[in-house]
Structure 1
Amino acid sequence: MTIDLRADPIVLTAALVDIPSVSKDEAAIVDTVTRALREQTTGFEVLRCGNSVLARTDRGRDSRVILAGHLDTVPIADNVPGRFETVDGQQTLYGCGSVDMKSGDAVFLHLAATVAEPVCDLTLIMYDCEEIAAEFNGLGRIERELPEWLDGDLAILGEPSGAWIEAGCQGTLRVRLTVRGTRAHTARAWMGDNAIHALGPILQRLREYRPREVDIDGCVYREGLSAVGIDGGVAGNVVPDEASVLVNFRFAPDRSLEQATEHVRQVFSGLDLDFERTDGSPGALPGLTAPAAKNLVEQVHSHGGGGIRAKYGWTDVSRFAARGIPAVNFGPGDPNLAHTVDEHVPTAQITTVADILRGYLTRA
């Protein structure tokens, strides 16, 4: 398979969509992208790392911008190959990964091949296994094995954002709250202590919880504390002696993971329960006051982008923020359409993002 990095990024997006690349099965697309970068770009060092490909320039510029995107998709739902349709008078590309995030990848690859004299040095990272458990994430592997490749002054992830800058991201953690009781036969329920009934105070505190709204660099992050699972019960004739609630906290990036955990602990203080954090990832501050980020903001404002807003979900910008590198999400496509059977992107958004980033990289 071959792709033309100098083709219109709309055409390049369609070509990438037509190469199946479900998580853990990215070898074919990585082979194709690696070969294209080696044959169709100049001034780039190109390195294959597992099923990720990295490329960077060393022109001695004063700053370095990282363009990062994942090449994997969720399982195909009879939506490969892609197809073009006209929707409300707009050309639209349908297909698995068209939104999340092969359109963003196409823009980055196209710019690497066609921007001859960027004002900054560039690092391009196309990685694998973003759509599955974090332990498999290719960017995490690169961070462990080749951390110097993640150094820069700004990281732009091509996550779908509708041509808005979605700055930073919220953190996320999950805790399991477990209550204990006494098992008994339901015919003699008074001899037991029903653990499921004891979940009531936990659920009441969740119902009464009022989330914070936090303004950071003009981006408003709204927190959320939600029950996402309940576990309990032994049999249809047994009073259960244990029950638990799984709680998810989405927190603004001004809290550390430890501070967020302590906040959740305080929400349920005074209740007789066991508290266990089952997983968690820190958020990422917007970093929009950094010079490289300010230049991107100016370019978006002056060239028809959507503007700036907070990123509510968690993305890999967090990995860069943890290294002290400002990071933003900026790509074509509506994130609400990611992973859907009718995933699709208006092709005009691909053009808009490409034009804005071209102007940013050349200061045109």
Structure 2
Amino acid sequence: MTGGGFDPVAFLEQAVPVASNEDVDEMRDLLVATLDEYGADPVVDDAGNTIAAKGASDPETHVVLNTHIDTVSPHVPYDREDGIIHGRGSCDAKGPLAALLSAFFAVDPAPDARVTLAITPDEELLSTGAAALDLDGDMYIVGEPTGLDVCTAAKGRFEGTVSLSGVAAHAAEPDSGSNAIDALASVLDALRAFDAERETHPDLGEATLTPTMVDGGENSNQVPADCRLVVDRRSVPPETADGFRSELTSTLQSVVPEGVGVDFQLTERPTPFLEAFATDPDHELVTTLASASRDAGGRGDVRPFTAATEASYFSPAPVVVFGPGVLADDEGAVAHAEREYVTTADVRTAAAALEDALATLVD
């Protein structure tokens, strides 16, 4: 038991059975009731974020703890055996939430410090909660299943559509039109070469640009006037979504055949894309949490995170991703899978590490 009497495993046993894949209301109610029980005085903002804070109102040091309460579908029922909690959300991310709550309840910030807990409702879809947060933190810890490692960087993910426009004609006289599908050859060549001269990121490796979906043409005996190609971009710093869109557009415009128009637009969404981020591995936030994780019994390795997270919304402030559980193990996928689980030992270790690190950061 940690966190001033709060038991993170007992909370997790309550939280995992609560389905939060389609609606987070019941899970948010549980979270708010738990915060109320421990005197945290939470508020729920207009975006559905649950926020609680302790410490100075105008701090010199402000640490923000963040994770999410929504899960992917379908809901997987709760089960527990031999120190393992199974079920949807057990590791992504109710296990990390339990550990963060334990640390939040336990921390006693110095008079000039503040700790804020900010729990979002929509991480798995559009991040509408995180996009609405305005917390002005000096450091951020984002709870996700990292195997108790401290993750300092992650690639971003952008998506968009290349639209090619030609001129329709009878297939018996192909030269009388402009074939939009035929122009795909030069587009695909350009995509393969797009990052050829780009430097490899020291932590995240190479950016990737992958064609994922294509459609075009209306009739089998007609030169197609239109073709659309969806691409998936996994970015590395310092690339931004707008910078990627502009660079790819100009590249494609330079390679398509004469008579074919080309346009590239990012997929419309109400919130910013999750962009790449990278925190200095030597920053106090990283070294303190890594040391605390090792002292508590974890590996405490420092490495990149392999999935997209809302951590990018908090960059360029120093931000790390940390928590119990794993995205995948030797048998295959864990998070988002039917066999999702987290060990109770890892939950307690994560809670102890976070408590120790917070005590150092805001002392």
What TM bracket, shorter-length normalisation?
Answer: 0.7 to 0.9
Q: How much has 1:220 moved relative to structure 2?
A: 3.4
Give the Cα separation in 2 of the matches to 1:300 and 1:189.
Answer: 66
Q: Is the 8 A contact 1:93 1:345 kept in 2?
A: yes
Q: How much has 1:301 moved relative to structure 2?
A: 4.7
State the match for 1:308 in structure 2: 302
Q: Is the 8 A contact 1:176 1:244 kept in 2?
A: yes
State the match for 1:183 in structure 2: 168
**1:127 equivalent in alignment to 2:126:** no
Residues 155-234 of structure 1 mapped to structure 2, 5 A cutoff: 155-189=140-174, 191-208=176-193, 210=196, 212-215=199-202, 219-234=203-218
Q: How many residues align?
A: 338
State the match for 1:20 in structure 2: 19
Q: Is the 8 A contact 1:166 1:330 kept in 2?
A: yes
Q: Is the 8 A contact 1:183 1:239 kept in 2?
A: yes
Q: SS of the residue aligned with 1:111?
A: helix
Q: How much has 1:282 moved relative to structure 2?
A: 3.1
**1:276 equivalent in alignment to 2:264:** yes
State the match for 2:32 in structure 1: 34
Aligned CA distance change for structure 1 residues 83 and 95 (closer, same or farther; 3 Å): same
Equivalent position amino acid for 1:277 in 2: Q
Equivalent position amino acid for 1:225 in 2: L
With normalisation by structure 2, the TM-score equals 0.83
State the match for 2:42 in structure 1: 46
Deviation per CA, 1:4-57: give whole Å up to 9, x if none: 99453223222111111124x21112122112211224xx44212243311100
Equivalent position amino acid for 1:124 in 2: L
Q: Is the 8 A contact 1:64 1:152 kept in 2?
A: yes
Work out the percentage of aligned pairs sharing the same amino acid: 25
**1:329 equivalent in alignment to 2:327:** no
Structure 1: runs of 5+ lacking an equivalent: none
Q: Is the 8 A contact 2:157 2:235 kept in 1?
A: yes
State the match for 1:362 in structure 2: 359
Q: How much has 1:330 moved relative to structure 2?
A: 0.7
Structure 2: runs of 5+ lacking an equivalent: 268-272, 329-333
State the match for 1:341 in structure 2: 338
Deviation per CA, 1:287-312: give whole Å up to 9, x if none: 44443344223333544334111234
State the match for 1:298 in structure 2: 291
**1:10 equivalent in alignment to 2:9:** yes
Deviation per CA, 1:98-151: give whole Å up to 9, x if none: 1211111111122223x15356531111221222234xx21223x2xxx2xx12
Give the Cα separation in 1 of the matches to 2:4 and 2:253.
Answer: 56
Deviation per CA, 1:141-193: give whole Å up to 9, x if none: 3x2xxx2xx12221111022221112133233233222222223445545443
Residues 91-110 of structure 1 mapped to structure 2, 5 A cutoff: 91-110=83-102
Q: Is the 8 A contact 1:173 1:277 kept in 2?
A: no
Give the Cα separation in 2 of the matches to 1:312 and 1:237.
Answer: 45
Give the Cα separation in 2 of the matches to 1:193 and 1:183.
Answer: 7
Residues 76-91 of structure 1 mapped to structure 2, 5 A cutoff: 76-77=74-75, 79-80=76-77, 82-86=78-82, 91=83
Aligned CA distance change for structure 1 residues 345 and 45 (closer, same or farther; 3 Å): same
Range that drifts further, 187-196 or 302-311:
187-196
Residues 148-159 of structure 1 mapped to structure 2, 5 A cutoff: 150-159=135-144
Give the Cα separation in 1 of the matches to 2:34 and 2:345.
Answer: 25
Give the Cα separation in 1 of the matches to 2:166 and 2:304.
Answer: 43
Q: Is the 8 A contact 1:287 1:327 kept in 2?
A: no
Give the Cα separation in 2 of the matches to 1:21 and 1:175.
Answer: 29
Residues 258-269 of structure 1 mapped to structure 2, 5 A cutoff: 258-265=242-249, 267-268=251-252
Q: Is the 8 A contact 2:152 2:286 kept in 1?
A: no
Give the Cα separation in 1 of the matches to 2:50 and 2:213.
Answer: 38
Q: SS of the residue aligned with 2:154?
A: coil
With normalisation by structure 1, the TM-score equals 0.82
Give the Cα separation in 2 of the matches to 1:254 and 1:207.
Answer: 20
Q: SS of the residue aligned with 1:314?
A: coil
| RMSD of equivalent CA atoms | 2.7
Give the Cα separation in 1 of the matches to 2:12 and 2:204.
Answer: 32
Give the Cα separation in 2 of the matches to 1:158 and 1:185.
Answer: 58
State the match for 1:66 in structure 2: 64
Q: How much has 1:205 moved relative to structure 2?
A: 3.0
* Bigger fraction of residues in helix: 1
Equivalent residue in structure 2 for 1:249, among 233, 237, 240: 233
Deviation per CA, 1:200-237: give whole Å up to 9, x if none: 1112233445474212xxx3343111112212121333
